[in-house]
Amino acid sequence: MKQNIIKDKSFNFAVDIVNLYKELAYNKKEYVMSRQLLKSGTSIGANVREAEFAQSKPDFISKMSISLKEANETDYWLDLLHETGFLDKNQFEIFKPKSTEIVKLLVSIVKTSKQ
């Protein structure tokens, strides 16, 4: 069976985001930005999964484009949480490269699919 890299990476990233959310909410008492991060960070993989069974190529592109928008939003929340002191340097350096990698993969998938 062929490995689906974006499916695997987005799922693993979602698991990491859920665990980060729990830490931010319970240990740092940050609820607003962390909830936004939770929503966008888990939505990436959900839309990738929806794209797996897209009804058409335009539907596939649409789902992957939504996933890309969610990944970009997640990147924003990570930046904001870091700049406001809720994510320390170590946490940021763990999450930011993963987020950036997913954005790059999705940009590539969307561009290739449109050609």
Tell me the C-alpha distance between 84 and 80, whole Å. 6
Helix locations, the chain, DSSP H: 5-26, 32-52, 57-83, 89-114
| pLDDT bracket for residue 3 (50, 70, 90) | confident
| Class of residue 82 by CB neighbours under 10 A (exposed 0-12, middle 13-18, buried 19+) | middle
Per-residue model confidence as pLDDT tens digits over 40-98: 999 999 999 999 999 999 999 999 999 999 999 999 999 999 999 999 999 999 999 99
